[in-house]
Structure 1
């Protein structure tokens, strides 16, 4: 295992410390709870919180900032944060208007975030939750009941954060996020495994000339393993899998994200995007905004995911609203 770390047991702690000192004007670290929060809070604004296991950087700390999250809670690598961490984040950023928790659909995350929400309500904090389940690959997995939450979660962060900055109520933000979740679909594919620092071993095995369609961001099995093919054929498989969902209306505007999983060069992501864009245009869609880069990774896994978001006028405006989050400036 080749990694630029010190002690594997301290990797998450030291990563968060490094993140906090990289962006000292905007964020600060609650070191005892592995929470990155906005340094400057706006009174009376609904607080937006997300989080999950580490190893998916820039998710979730990279989305803390004006126009997106107020706090991000980090668990150990691929492990949900504990309820007391999440509760500490809520107490740190609640300014009286309530808190929305954005949760990816993994059993540990759902259980711990919902437990923390119950504890916060006992302390007088108004809390709502939304669960993102954008991955069309599999209905149930090793980590979930129902579909997994993957890179489409970033779009939900953006919608919630933009509405919160405008002064929307907790119920209004929850409703908008649920509407967005209904319109977001994703699927990924993997070329190689990742290595979890504490184990020092690959998370799964795959042949040099193989790829797996529908692989999860923790290495969960996907739809099928097949021979490695061209970027154009990979793009076509991803687009077809997403568009099988009957939520996309030809002629409507889309946001598209080509997300690298950690070890895929930008060159390859742009090559995939080239075909994705042409396929969507050929099928009668308009692409209003494209995002290409690393938004939700899996350590050093090679591969990518495609996320498609059916926009309407309000969702488009919110998606394009200003943000100063380090990983999503607009």
Structure 2
């Protein structure tokens, strides 16, 4: 293992210390318990948006704290969910009186701990709602989830919902918007190599010199199929067909319903919400997100985007916005993921709205 670290046990804290020094105008870091928050928090009268998850996916989520995006992020240890006490402390620190929205990736530890944090917040008189992101079409269950995994759409939801909160949306409006983004987002990924968790010191999984793993998750969990290495265009074609029915070659992502749990304020309990997933249709406007898993350079991502744009044009789909780069990584894993989000006028306007965070900024 070759990494620019000191002691594995100190890696997350020391990285956050460096981030705090580098971006002192935007963020501050609390260490006991650990969370990153906006330097101007709390913003009175604004819905506060909080997310979090295991470290190792940077800049997700800590790099997206700031104006127009997250009010706070709770990082766990590498690939380990943050704890409820982190989430509750972050909640109390950024609560501006308009309520809290938790954006939660569908991983068992994240879901359980954010549910506990929300119940604790309610017990202290803080309004909070939670929306689950489950956009990975590669599989319906995995080692870490019950149902689809939460991946690239999380980044897009944090940006769009962050802009909405900045513009004065109330808590239910932001939650409804986040749910809509999740329903209209779909993602799939591929790994060309594994990654190494510092505390372990060995690769999470092993790929042969000419093997790639399709449908992988962001923690190095297995995908759906291991195949021989292919050209960049061929890999992009496989991933795109996964996302663009009716020609899907690996998964028929046609209309179906899926159920997630959400907190019902009126009933004061968790209830099952049925979401209807629909395939993309010709003339849909898309935000195309080509993401590096950490070890793939931007030049290769542009090659992927080139082919993706060609396929979407052939299918009559309009890419009207894009995001290309390492925004949701898996340490140094080589590979990429593709996320397609069907946009409406409201989402497009909110995507274009100003944002200023350590890792995403425009319009300011």
Both proteins in one fold, TM over 0.5: yes
Distance 2:298 2:26 in 1: 27
- Residue 355 of structure 2 aligns to a residue whose secondary structure is coil
TM-score (norm 2): 0.90
Corresponding position of 1:247: 279
Following superposition, the deviation at residue 220 of structure 1 comes to 1.1
1:45 aligns with 2:46: yes
- Residue 314 of structure 1 aligns to a residue whose secondary structure is helix
Following superposition, the deviation at residue 162 of structure 1 comes to 0.7
1:83 aligns with 2:115: no
Residue deviations 1:29-77 (CA, integer Å, cap 9, x gap): 0111221100113211000000100000000011001000000000000
Aligned-residue CA RMSD in angstroms?
Answer: 0.7
Corresponding position of 2:199: 198
How many aligned positions are there?
330
- 8 Å contact kept, 1:50–1:72: yes
Q: Map residues 164-313 of structure 1 onto 2, 5 A cutoff.
A: 164-244=165-245, 245=253, 246-313=278-345
Structure with more of its chain in strand, by fraction: 2
Corresponding position of 2:13: 13
- 8 Å contact kept, 1:183–1:247: no
Distance 1:124 1:38 in 2: 22
- Residue 237 of structure 1 aligns to a residue whose secondary structure is helix
Structure 1: gaps (5+ residues): none
Q: Map residues 56-205 of structure 1 onto 2, 5 A cutoff.
A: 56-205=57-206
- 8 Å contact kept, 2:131–2:179: yes
TM-score (norm 1): 0.99
Corresponding position of 2:23: 23
Distance 1:151 1:56 in 2: 11
- 8 Å contact kept, 2:133–2:154: yes
Moved over 6 A (4+): none
Following superposition, the deviation at residue 247 of structure 1 comes to 3.1
- 8 Å contact kept, 1:16–1:34: no
- 8 Å contact kept, 2:26–2:358: no
Structure 2: gaps (5+ residues): 246-252, 254-277
